[in-house]
Chain A
Amino acid sequence: MKRGTGGWGPTPDSHAFPTRRYDLVKEFVIALGVVSVLSVVAALVFSSPDEPAISLQQWARQAPADVVATATGELAGTTTSAGYGAPYNTAGEGQSLGPVNLQTLPGVTVPVDSAKDLVLDPVRSLTSDPAVVAAVHAWDAASADRQQAWSAAYADALAAAPDGDPAKVASGDYGPVPIIAAAELQLADGGALEGLLTSRTTFFGVDSTRALLLLADGTHLEDAARAQNLGGDQWGIMNETGNYPGQPWLWLYSLWYQVPPFSTSENADIAVWSLMILLSIGFICIPWIPGLRTLPRHLGVHRLVWRTRR
């Protein structure tokens, strides 16, 4: 029976050809043995990377100024998560591709109020500290404009202080913000902040969203990543810590982030994702794309597989 595909003409039925002995089961068993041995040998020789996670306590002890600046930024609404938009909040419009904004379409499905969820609610747990309790009351009683003025002024003062050290901040009208930010640092330093962020509403802390958003709002995580050559402009997430191959199969996805216009675009993520989805659909549909489906005939690499007998 002859079958045809566009551009190739009739292709003979493979079952009509003469056959040769071919032991599929033996081939699979040998392949399984080889792959198993290779995996075990590679595991013994190269092991696998396991750089411990950065705890919020580590963050507080290694970069206390960053914790205070991040907490202040959450209160001021200037951090990445505070102004993100969907799916966390409505503070930002997110990315769009021309008139299409897929980010806001599903709405807020993972609600995060950065000031409340990442700073104020955890700090409210420090009920034994009268100064902190009074600071939170003062914050709650103030108008939104007043809150914004206090936190923005303190954020500016921290940025101007040597090494961002809260102890060296110039005096000013910061309201309760310095006490609240210091309380956040105190919680992180004592090791309580992680639990307050992941398990406050449920006993089982299996959702790391809030803790990771807070950590990523600071600079400590990115500094550590860049030191390991994991920055976005260093081929980002396809690498992993140490001298390990990581996810080389993501090379094309990572490539776009390194070149213009993607590397300079504010909508790089949606642009790269759209391009990759388009390319992926094209890859799946190669057999039906005129020109592409017959390309192998012109490349001639198939002659290395099926050599013509002379």
Chain B
Amino acid sequence: MSGPSTSLRSEPTEPQSRHAHDTWTAALTRWVEGLVPRGQWLPDRQPVYVASWIYVFGVACLASLVVIIVSGLVLSLGGVAWWHVSTLGHFVNSVHLWSVELFFATMVIHLWGKFFMASWRGNRGLTWATGALAFFGSLGTAFTGYLIQTNFDAQWISTQAKDGLNAAGIGAWFNVMDLGQMMLWHVSLLPLVVGAIVVVHIVLVRRRGVAPPIGATEPSPPGAAAAAGAAPTESPATLATRSGVKS
């Protein structure tokens, strides 16, 4: 019974209608793979027009987020009041604070840069929207961080901020004077939400690619460019743009 017939039976069979009979696993795999064009998850090449320091600030913002998360995790090891009584804890708290300041500085520059570049062009509206949502989510996360400092700032900020939230009806469920609730929002709920938005934002950036310069037209096919004697990394005549900073 062995031999060719067994071998044939063990061969995976390709369904006639692949999509109609896919397993959920295969469908999920295909969906994930299709989120961005092939080779664009982490490409080692970018369009020639990606050549300005302004592009660095999105990555710098992401790097700041990593420092925020790491310093926040170290702070959480010692507990809510650790940093008041420990020199090391106070230092880690300081790193956390300054990385947050850097995070917002780089994020705001990134946002303004994308605004002036109208980076929502070419069906990139959701990329802009998720970036803006990440900004507002970060505002809330930073705000709850100030509320859980268990010091004078936390006392003053919470008693002042409650009025706006109560007036909007939000304070009914989001009590800024409840330390336990704010602690969980700051270290769990809001970071998860912001993290998820950032992931979606990055996927959209990779999916659509970096927005071309304003006024740029469709480049000629590579063959036409080569025939015209253009260098491989230079843009065709229609792409008469490049950065004056790096190039």
Contact = CB atoms under 8 A, between A and B. Distances in A.
Q: Do A and B interact with each other, yes or no?
A: yes
B167 A273 contact: yes
Nearest to A210: B177
A42 B94 contact: yes
B212 A43 contact: no
Of the four ranges (under 10, 10 to 19, 20 to 34, 35 or more), the interface on chain A belongs to 35 or more
A77 to B, nearest CB: 19
A47 to B, nearest CB: 5
Interface in A204-250: 204, 206-209, 212-213, 215-216, 221, 224-225, 230, 232, 236-237, 240-241, 244-245, 247-250
A287 interface: yes
Contacts, number: 326
B156 A225 contact: yes
B189 interface: no
B152 A54 contact: yes
Contact of B64 (A35, A52, A84): A35
A287 B59 CA distance: 22
B51 interface: yes
Contacts of B153: 49, 51, 240-241
Given A39-B71, A46-B98, A294 B46 contact: no
A24 interface: yes
B10 interface: no
A85 B165 CA distance: 13
B208 A247 contact: no
B146 interface: yes
Interface string B66-107: 110001000000000001100000110111011101101010
B98 A21 contact: no
Contacts of B241: 306-309
A307 B235 CA distance: 13
Contacts of A203: none
Interface residues of B, number: 112
A141 interface: no
B235 A50 contact: no
Interface string A181-196: 0000000000000000
Given A221-B159, A302-B213, A288 B125 contact: yes
Interface stretch (A101-109, A120-128, A148-156, A165-173): A101-109
B169 A106 contact: yes
Interface in B24-59: 37, 40, 42-52, 54, 56, 59
Given A8-B122, A19-B45, A47-B94, 7 more contacts: A24-B46, A32-B66, A39-B99, A249-B142, A250-B143, A283-B132, A284-B128
Interface of A: 2-5, 8, 10-25, 27-28, 31-32, 34-36, 38-40, 42-44, 46-54, 84, 86-87, 94-95, 102-103, 105-107, 109-110, 204, 206-209, 212-213, 215-216, 221, 224-225, 230, 232, 236-237, 240-241, 244-245, 247-250, 267, 269-270, 272-274, 277, 280, 283-288, 293-294, 296-297, 299, 301-302, 305-309
